[in-house]
Amino acid sequence: MVGKNLRLYLSGDAKDHAYVYNAQFDRDFDVDTLGVVEIDEMAVSDEAAIGAARYEPIQPEFFAHLVERLPAIEPSDFTFVDVGSGKGRALILAAVAGFRTVIGVEFDGGLHRAALTNIDRVRDQFPDVSFELRHQDARNFTPPEGSIILMVNNPFDQSVLIPLLERFEQVGSKQGQPCYLIYGHSLHVDQVMERRCWKILERSHFQTKRHPYAIFEMDVQ
């Protein structure tokens, strides 16, 4: 199961206390993924900032829940892509979950550099994982070949999300490989549902309505 290793990690007492839980993750992996970074604190142009949202690390238990909602897959057969990867927390969690190729895409230079530092600190713990971090605008990202899990944890609005999905649709229509979208804090889910290439598998909330999510499968037939 894709979430087995995540559940083993999350079995500690810290999971019951969100404010400790976040800090515990950083202590466990000797990384720094905490904190909120607002758009006006990022070193990006006004044009690039249009449609973007602030950085806030994903709760590990929310991440575990999301990947467990995927259909039964073998994670090592998929490339995990986190667009809006921030300081890299979801990338580390993807490695824990068993993904062997992990790509992060982040448009802010400061967050990207923080992610590089964090991933360097954990590489020895995941010798079989290929990490790739890209400092890039999501609208210019070219999806890799092969089967993909695309994660988007509300780093931007539909003005960025839809062009990103269009690029995945273009590649998917040529390759015919499986592609799933994990959309955390899915504020613009209706716009995704309007696209015929994306079949919704689940739409729900994690714990409270403050944490909506949706799982999609690309259908390019």
Q: Write the Ramachandran bin of 80: left for phi over 0, alpha for psi from -120 to 50, otherwise beta.
A: beta
The domain segmentation of the chain, as residue ranges, is 4-218
Tell me, what DSSP letter sits at residue 59? P
pLDDT in tens, 94-140: 999 999 999 999 999 999 999 999 999 999 999 999 999 999 998 89
Q: What is the pLDDT of residue 5?
A: 65
> What proportion of the chain, given as a percentage, has pLDDT over 90?
64
4-218, CATH topology level: Rossmann fold (3.40.50)
**Per-residue pLDDT tens digits for 205-215:** 999 888 999 99
Using CA atoms, how far residue 211 sits from 64, 128, 187, 207, in Å, is 13, 32, 10, 7
**Backbone phi and psi for residue 105, each to the nearest 5 degrees, phi listed first:** -125, 120
Summarize pLDDT for 27-59 with one digit per residue, the tens: 999 999 998 887 677 877 666 666 677 788 999
SS3 18: helix
Answer yes or no: is pLDDT of 143 > 60. yes
The arithmetic mean of pLDDT across residues 10-15, rounded, is 53
